[in-house]
Amino acid sequence: MTDATTALEALRSRLTGRLLLPDDADYDAARSPWNLAVEQRPAAVAFPADVADVQAIVLAAAEAGLGVTTQPNGHGAAGDLDGVVLVRPTAFDEVSVDVPARVLRVGAGVNWGAALQALEGSGLIGLAGSNPEVNVVGLAINGGHSMFSRLHGLTARSIAALELVDASGAVRRVTGLDDDDEQGRELIWALRGGGAAGFGVITAIELELFPGEALFGGGLVFDAEHAKLVIAAALALGRDVPDLGLDVGMMQFPDLPVMPPHLRGRTVATVSLVHVGDEATGRGYADRVLAVAEPIANALTPFTIGELAAVAAEPTDPMPTADFGASLGSDDDAFVAEFVEAFLAGASHGLTRAGMRPVGGATADALGADLAAVGAVSAPLVLNTGVLLAGPGVDPEAALQPLRDLAARHPGGGGIPSMLGPGPLALAYRPEALERLAAVKGSVDPGGLFRGNRAISG
């Protein structure tokens, strides 16, 4: 038995929660991330029951020369976890809403679907992403783009407080408001967007909420023959209405029996929109897109905050995917024509989806840059594209290459880590921010104990 294994066996006997080692029956299920294409074999998988367990895990890993990473779901799993204890914070499931203070508090195991359910009836909205199974902490500390971001900014900017166990095993609460805690101010700055570099095991987060009594939106699907007209109309709408949430793109539904018959094997253009306000105004916006082509599906409807995930209607079950993201510097009609051609070229090798979200609005607001690592996004669009690694004839590199080429021809510069697919934080941040992130990492985790899913530079 190695020294590390002996140390982990000793740790297991001290925990209230569970610790699974490679020989344990449940280890394979526990190590598996949401993205089933990522193979990761950590030294152990820990399910701490409480903060004291997290402290014991951190101290034992440090003493045994192991690393620590926290991965609620593995949406952003990046592979290689050799010599690392993987922490699954499932037991940290508290959810509370302080309506007068407009603050949402959740434990590190809570996904956005559960958090949004807790907001039902409050008249408040949080800056959730599009998928209910993405974790609240995981999205927020990696930047976080929400359909509400053009109105209220990136999710990272809404972080009011974080509670974590640091590399020394100490429990810390950081708000950035304590004048006597300069390291804490730097730490919350780093965690507002640069969290993937690994600064501790976060156990709870508090996020600012915003008024949002009436919501309207949903998805529109069009045959691919209308793609250029529809996407150009939607992007023009986005330029004219800078606080409207929009996701515009194309999808190729796999030719698999699990697909609904009317979509199986079909290529389509998609437009999702979210308007905070009344139905009549929202329908007026959507009519500008509906005026250029007849949709094959129209799910526009007033909805409540707990129903937000239905607007995007994304798959929630674990699946094998390869992804790529970038910010894009163009959004005019000539660019749209290139985008559609690039998608169709990728689709012939199995490309499944490519979505572009107009940014601008509050995400372009440089105010408060000193409060958050994630900067103002000046590019007009962010792209996120992916391949479902299933079915015949799928070649992920060939499928993604036309969109990689498109992004290289239309660079946006900078971006939002959570929307960029795999890769270092250097893809998203300006050099000054990277230097400051490295300084914070060196100050709070000098031994490099915490392994996030992205290095600071490549």
Ligand X SMILES: Cc1cc2nc3c(=O)[nH]c(=O)nc-3n(C[C@H](O)[C@H](O)[C@H](O)COP(=O)(O)OP(=O)(O)OC[C@H]3O[C@@H](n4cnc5c(N)ncnc54)[C@H](O)[C@@H]3O)c2cc1C
CB of 300 or CB of 322, closer to ligand X: 322
Residue 194 near ligand X by CB under 6 A: no
Q: For residue 326, which phi and psi values (nearest 5 degrees)? A: -165, 160
Specify the pairing of strand 381-388 against strand 321-328. antiparallel
Distances in Å between the Cα of 312 and the Cα atoms of 84, 355, 447 are 35, 11, 41
Tokens at 24, concatenated: 């344990």
Rounded least distance, CB 338 to ligand X, Å: 24
Binding mask 108-127 for ligand X (x = CB under 6 A): x-------------------
Residue 270 near ligand X by CB under 6 A: no
Closest CA to 219 of 116, 147, 124: 147
Residue 295 near ligand X by CB under 6 A: no
Residue 196 near ligand X by CB under 6 A: yes
Burial 35-63 (b: 16+ CB within 10 A, else e): bbbbebebbbbbbbeebebbbbbbbbbbe
* Residues of this chain, 198-217, that bind ligand X according to CB under 6 A: 198, 201-202
Rounded least distance, CB 382 to ligand X, Å: 9
Rounded least distance, CB 34 to ligand X, Å: 6
The upper half-sphere exposure of residue 241, i.e. CA atoms within 13 Å in the direction of its Cβ, equals: 20
Residue 145 near ligand X by CB under 6 A: yes
Residue 314 near ligand X by CB under 6 A: yes
Orientation of helix 51-64 relative to helix 3-14, angle to 10°: 170
Residue 187 near ligand X by CB under 6 A: no
Alpha carbon distance 216, 233 (integer Å):
19
Rounded least distance, CB 148 to ligand X, Å: 11
Binding mask 52-91 for ligand X (x = CB under 6 A): -----------------xxxxxxxxx-----------x--
Alpha carbon distance 193, 180 (integer Å):
23
Residue, CB closest to ligand X: 138
Q: How many CB atoms sit inside 10 A of residue 265's CB?
A: 12
Residue 131 near ligand X by CB under 6 A: yes
Sites of contact with ligand X (CB under 6 A)? 69-77, 89, 108, 129-131, 134-135, 137-139, 141-145, 195-196, 198, 201-202, 314, 418-419, 452-453
